[in-house]
Amino acid sequence: MLSPIPIYKDFRQLLAFGAGVGIEIRGADLEVAAARVRPRWIQVLGRLTIANFAARPAAEWGMEYARFLKSLGASHLSATVLLPRPEVIVRQVALAGVAAKDLDAAIGFQLDALHPYGDSDEICWGWSPLAPGVALVGIVRRETVERHSELFAEAGIAVASFTFSAAAVHAAIRLRSGGAGRSGGHNGQPGFVALSRSASGAVEVYGESASRPVFSAEFELAPDRAVNLALAELRLPPETAALRLEDVLPKPNVNPVENDLSRNALPYATALAGACPRLAPAANVLPPGDRRLSSRAIFIPTVALACVLLLVAGAMWGYAKYAERRYLGKIAAEIAKLEPLARRAAALQEQIDQARARAQLLDRFRGQTRADLDALSELTRLLEPPAWTTGIDLTGDTARIAGEAPQAGPLLKILDSSAFFENSAFDSPPLRSGSGEAFMIHASRGKRK
């Protein structure tokens, strides 16, 4: 069951957006009306009478209905069907203190007490809210609903709702802010009674008042007598003037000449009730599994939600890009702020490295002199007389020694035994001289420097 949107009266008109097709089963005929609802206007798209539908093949009058909708550009719309009054039992149920979300369960709990069919007959039922804690309930035999459903399905007509006159009129009146309010009044009045004619010529009475949210009945009486009975039921003053049903319904801004609301008020009210079911719900006795919701309006919430999701995703993406640019900007600003210090630090480090290199070079020069003196001292110790030298050439890593000794061969072993020299070798074989052997030796200064 659809619940009305909880909104302020001033904003109801802004949400009135949709289109509907109403079908009244009026005796042997079907009275069809299509209407489009917008926030500031209502347009009756067209009307159609399908005569003697029950005696004709369903496919035949189904094609007639399809051509009618196609000519209006409304082939996508599902129909709201107004069941004949004798087929529906209508009850008003007062459930004081029951929350709106619990009304459906509360009505179902006491449903057996609302109809005379007993357990042998299965039923279909639906309800719509009238006032806080008050609901309008419609009950129909399941076999009746199935019979109508099969007939319309055979004709190829998509049906979204089976409703009844009291629910349809009540919902249509509340479609626009100028309709009756929750207190039961009309255009600021404390209550009203509206008359129309049924298919059999009987007087149909619809009324509302503060003491009784809805009164709907059919009388085989004179109109004045029917009005007096309705005023008594509604507890309205006897002098209250009766209105026409079309006068209490929202007045269409555009209405075809052939659509005489004095004779076609109920199909028009049914079309309005089907146009905006969320804004002004009418009781629907058609089981949910049998409803064919082909109106494009049902996709509006999905499209709106998709748009919102796209906007949110776009906003998140845009904010991420903005935040990233802002973060990079802050980093660039910090880099620009610290760059002079970084350049100064790099320059100081370069100067430090140069100073360290010069200091190490000076240390090496100072150490080289000491190492050369130690090497000369070590050669003096190793080359004892009668050996003597004619020349000593010291570099950073080698030593070249020229001289004479009684025997030059043992000198290599003597030099390698020192801590200052290694890998000693003759540059050329020793030469015999008058006092011994002349030699030319080179050795590495690898052990100590």
pLDDT tens profile 324-376: 889 999 999 988 888 898 889 889 999 999 999 888 888 877 777 788 888 88
Res. 300 pLDDT band, cuts 50 70 90:
low
pLDDT tens digits, 144-191: 999 999 999 999 999 999 999 999 999 999 887 544 443 455 555 678
Distance CA(270)–CA(262), nearest Å, equals 15
Res. 91 pLDDT band, cuts 50 70 90:
very high
Distance CA(264)–CA(126), nearest Å, equals 24
Mean pLDDT of 21-49: 92
Query: Amino acid identity, residue 237?
Result: P
Domain boundaries, the chain: 9-179+250-294, 380-444
Q: Which CATH number fits domain 9-179+250-294: 3.30.70.1400, 2.40.50.100, 3.30.420.380, 1.10.260.40?
A: 3.30.420.380
For 29, other C-beta atoms within 10 Å of its C-beta total 15
- Computed from CA positions of residues 408, 414, 419, 423, in that sequence, does the dihedral angle turn out positive or negative? positive
Distance CA(242)–CA(231), nearest Å, equals 9
pLDDT tens digits, 108-138: 888 888 888 887 789 999 999 988 889 999 9
